[in-house]
Amino acid sequence: MEGMKAMKDQAVLVAAAQKLKQHNIKATPQRQGILAYLMSSSEHPSINMIHQYLLKEDYKVSLATVYNTLELLSAAELVTEVTIDSAGHVRYDYFEEPHYHMICLNCGRIDDIYDDCYLKLEELAAKESGYQVISSYYDVHGICPNCQQKQQNQQKD
């Protein structure tokens, strides 16, 4: 099973490298480090979390470089920004395949949802509007199961 995961991870890295090349973006160690972290992370890290990770891994990188790299990777459609609240706090996600996000309004937890209904929505929107869909981002905001449980426990007390 681990062999299959390693092969998938390698295929994802190769696909990312090809996408960088298509956009004429040099695959610097910092960019590769950011991509590798986002590919392996399920927590949708903030820019500060990414920066701290890179420093811990001995990358010599400034916060501004991380920010600029994320902007570049976002333009190449390798990374997507996820705004988690009305204050504009942003998290980042590696965008290997189309998906949408469930975002908890209490704790900021983000879950990826992989379902083709997302793609059907794009098709429907294009058909009804006449638009050619280039990209779309869909986030659903609510209360996660953990926060729901906490609320129920507080109501019992």
130-153 pLDDT, tens digit per residue, is 999 887 777 889 999 999 999 999
| More confident call, 58 vs 84 | 58
Residues 82 and 90: beta-carbon distance below 8 Å: yes
State pLDDT tens for residues 20-52. 888 888 988 899 899 989 988 888 999 999 999
CATH superfamily ID and name for 98-157: Ferric-uptake regulator, C-terminal dimerisarion domain (3.30.1490.190)
Binding-site positions for Zn(2+) read 104, 107, 144, 147
| More confident call, 29 vs 89 | 29
Residues 25 and 76: beta-carbon distance below 8 Å: yes
Break the chain into its structural domains and give their ranges: 1-96, 98-157
For the domain 1-96, what is the CATH code? Answer: 1.10.10.10
Binding-site positions read 104, 107, 144, 147
Query: Given pLDDT bands bounded at 50, 70 and 90, which one contains residue 18?
Result: confident
Residues 70 and 34: beta-carbon distance below 8 Å: yes
